[in-house]
Amino acid sequence: MSRIVTVSASSQVKAEDAGCVVVSGSYGGQYNAWHAGKWGLRGVVLNDAGVGRNDAGIDGLPYLDTIGLPAATADVMSCHIADGDHMLAHGVVSHVNAAAAALGCTVGDSVRACVDRMLAAPPVSGELPPIAGGRRYTLDDGNGRRKLVALDAAPLLQPDDAGAIAVTGSHAALFRGKPDGVVSADVYAIFFNDAGVGLDGAGIARLPTLDERGIIAGAVDCNSAPIGNARAIYADGVLSHVNETAARHGAKPGMALKAFIDMLQAEGGKGA
């Protein structure tokens, strides 16, 4: 059935959406392109998340060309990341893949105009190449220190991550700009990619909400480390924004994330 489906994240696309065009609030990396592209869609629009280091915010577009699925990204400064409805209403196209260009989608189009062209295309099915993202790693098992985990996506948090330091590959936006359960564990600290910050600061809107739970939180500049790659964010990320709780522990924009995490570990480990 040819219709438009809007979602906050590509992981919310389901089998019943086959034949639709999806506007997803997710960043346009391969992980989210895979989540959307496996369902036999006519097209997909993602968010460019400021593009960022290694073009991580848009590298899902050529990935979807491997099966001929039309795909585009919306400029993060034109609409709210993590809000498919807002992207559809206000988004401006920043990048298109070859399959979308063949339909007449162009940079500078409104997302709505691009979606309308995709609606006229046939559904596309095919076997997508394997992806490397979407994994979790334990960087420090917490023996005498706080556990340190790297999660390519924040929903990979587990209940036993409570009290840990988590570095995620995710943006720091709220789904549809409203409270959600993405940070499911009461971690000690958590860090994100700022996704280019975006319109109305949507890409970092989660940070002050974590102050309400006493959780240290910050986001790294999308140009310092690729969105979706938690280990690279830990190794190379430079903080661009921190919440009040993090600032009280010495965090400030311009600080290397790894250096700040080392400070947190030096505070007294699990008993801090």
141 versus 218: the higher-pLDDT residue is 218
pTM attached to this predicted model:
0.95
pLDDT at 141 over 70: yes
Grouping H, G, I as helix, E, B as strand and the rest as coil, residue 196 is: coil
Q: What is the distance in angstroms between the CA of the first residue and the CA of the last residue of the chain?
A: 55
Burial 154-174 (b: 16+ CB within 10 A, else e): bebbeeebeebbbbbbbbbbb
Grouping H, G, I as helix, E, B as strand and the rest as coil, residue 220 is: strand
- Is residue 133 very low, low, confident or very high in pLDDT (cuts 50, 70, 90)? confident
Question: With DSSP H G I counted as helix, E B as strand and the rest as coil, what are the percentages for the chain, rounded to 5?
Answer: 35, 20, 45
Mean of the pLDDT values across residues 94-115?
Answer: 98
The pLDDT, as a whole number, for residue 16 is 96
Grouping H, G, I as helix, E, B as strand and the rest as coil, residue 245 is: helix
Mean of the pLDDT values across residues 258-270?
Answer: 86
Distance (Å, whole) CA 259 – CA 155: 25
Average pLDDT, the chain: 96
Mean of the pLDDT values across residues 84-102?
Answer: 98
Residue 106 exposed, middle or buried by CB count within 10 Å (0-12, 13-18, 19+): middle
Distance (Å, whole) CA 29 – CA 14: 19
pLDDT at 269 over 60: no
- Pairing of β 43-47 and β 21-27: parallel
Distance (Å, whole) CA 248 – CA 138: 26
Domain boundaries, the chain: 4-119, 136-271
The pLDDT, as a whole number, for residue 257 is 98
Q: Which of 21-35, 100-114, 175-189, 256-270 has the least mean pLDDT?
A: 256-270
The pLDDT, as a whole number, for residue 271 is 43
210 versus 2: the higher-pLDDT residue is 210
Burial 137-151 (b: 16+ CB within 10 A, else e): eeebeeeebbbbbbb
The pLDDT, as a whole number, for residue 1 is 62
Distance (Å, whole) CA 81 – CA 209: 17
Total count of residues recorded for the chain:
272
The pLDDT, as a whole number, for residue 113 is 98
- Residue 217 tokens, joined: 């939180």
148-196 tens-digit pLDDT? 999 999 999 999 999 999 999 999 999 999 989 999 999 999 999 999 9
Count of alpha carbons within 13 Å of 187, Cβ hemisphere only? Answer: 27
The pLDDT, as a whole number, for residue 190 is 98
Percentage, residues of the chain above pLDDT 70: 98
- Is residue 236 very low, low, confident or very high in pLDDT (cuts 50, 70, 90)? very high
The pLDDT, as a whole number, for residue 144 is 81
Mean of the pLDDT values across residues 9-13?
Answer: 97
Mean of the pLDDT values across residues 120-128?
Answer: 95
Count of alpha carbons within 13 Å of 218, Cβ hemisphere only? Answer: 31
- Residue 207 tokens, joined: 């940070």
Partners of 7 in the beta sheet?
A: 24
- Residue 166 tokens, joined: 């988590």
pLDDT at 59 over 50: yes
- Pairing of β 136-140 and β 148-151: antiparallel
The pLDDT, as a whole number, for residue 267 is 85
Partners of 140 in the beta sheet?
A: 148
pLDDT at 272 over 50: no
